């Protein structure tokens, strides 16, 4: 990786916890950390305007930050500070990635790469049960209550499964923060192992 890009990656990585922990624990904005992020994103934009490809580790880190901030602000509206910061990050990323073929951006299941969304309707067998989407599996595994898992698994849409899984009146398993990445990996692996059509989409993507 280019030294300047490596420096940007390391600096963003160093402030990631400063960005996200206050959001998750107290719904507050660390102003200094967010201002530093925007400074680094402007620097990244200037560098990548001269290069078609952006290293995949930078893409992944920025996507993690954007999704995390967006999730914390999902029930907010303007002028809530979290809502505003999520919009700022989205605007910066749009400028950076608009002309880059390095980033595969997706959110809605009907977009070009919508098969990568957890809401895409690509079911799979895992843990002895059939799961309609990876979102169903992820949300159900937030809990150890088998009956609640089954309710989530049986929901008619991934949005409904997510609604139950995000209900903070239901206690999360105590080790959720430690296991959630592995839960997602298992779901995604099962999904792409099951469906050859979307597996071929994945294998055609060029990673730098």
Please give the C-alpha separations between residue 47 and each of 33, 65, 154, 178, 206, in angstroms, as whole numbers: 21, 20, 47, 35, 20
Query: 82 and 9, same structural domain?
Result: yes
Q: Which domain holds residue 196?
A: 114-204
pLDDT at 207: 44
Q: How confident is the model at residue 108 (pLDDT cuts 50, 70, 90)?
A: low
Query: 93 and 37, same structural domain?
Result: yes
Residue 103 domain flag: no
Residue 108 domain flag: no
User: pLDDT at residue 205 above 70?
Assistant: no
**23, 24, 27, 31: CA torsion to nearest 10:** -20
Q: How many CA atoms lie within 13 A of 129 on its CB side?
A: 17
Residue 62 domain flag: yes
Among the residue ranges 115-119, 160-164, 199-203, the one predicted with the least confidence is 199-203
Residue 154 domain flag: yes
Query: 130 and 200, same structural domain?
Result: yes
Query: 188 and 122, same structural domain?
Result: yes
Q: What is the mean pLDDT of residues 89-114?
A: 70
Q: How many CB atoms lie within 10 A of CB 164?
A: 17
Q: What is the mean pLDDT of residues 99-119?
A: 69
Rg of the chain, C-alpha, whole Å: 18
Residue 104 domain flag: no
Query: 78 and 33, same structural domain?
Result: yes
User: pLDDT at residue 145 above 90?
Assistant: yes
Query: 179 and 145, same structural domain?
Result: yes
Query: 75 and 38, same structural domain?
Result: yes
Query: 120 and 83, same structural domain?
Result: no
User: pLDDT at residue 36 above 80?
Assistant: yes
**Which pairs with CB-CB distance under 8 Å and at least 24 residues apart come from 4-13?**
4/47, 5/44, 5/47, 5/54, 5/55, 5/58, 8/40, 8/43, 8/44, 8/47, 8/58, 9/55, 9/57, 9/58, 9/61, 11/36, 11/40, 12/37, 12/40, 12/58, 12/61, 12/62, 12/65, 13/61
Residue 106 domain flag: no
Query: 198 and 124, same structural domain?
Result: yes
The domain that holds 148 is classified in CATH as 1.10.357.40
Count of structural domains, the chain:
2
Residue 70 domain flag: yes
pLDDT at 208: 39
């Amino acid at each position: 990786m280019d030294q300047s890009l490596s420096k940007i990656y390391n600096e963003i990585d160093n402030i990631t916890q400063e960005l996200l922990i206050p959001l998750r624990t107290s719904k507050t904005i660390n102003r200094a950390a967010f201002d530093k992020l925007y400074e680094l994103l402007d620097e990244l934009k200037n560098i990548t305007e001269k290069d078609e490809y952006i290293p995949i580790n930078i893409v992944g880190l920025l996507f993690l930050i954007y999704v995390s901030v967006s999730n914390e602000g999902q029930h907010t509206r303007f002028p809530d500070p979290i809502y505003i910061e999520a919009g700022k990050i989205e605007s910066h990323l749009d400028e950076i990635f608009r002309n880059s073929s390095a980033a595969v951006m997706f959110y809605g299941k009907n977009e070009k790469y919508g098969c990568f969304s957890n809401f895409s309707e690509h079911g799979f067998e895992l843990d002895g049960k059939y799961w309609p989407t990876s979102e169903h599996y992820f949300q159900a595994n937030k809990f150890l209550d088998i009956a609640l898992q089954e309710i989530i698994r049986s929901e008619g849409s991934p949005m409904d499964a997510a609604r139950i899984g995000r209900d903070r009146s239901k206690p999360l398993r105590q080790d959720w923060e430690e296991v959630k990445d592995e839960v997602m990996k298992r779901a995604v692996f099962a999904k792409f192992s099951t469906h050859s059509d979307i597996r071929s989409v994945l294998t055609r993507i060029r990673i730098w």
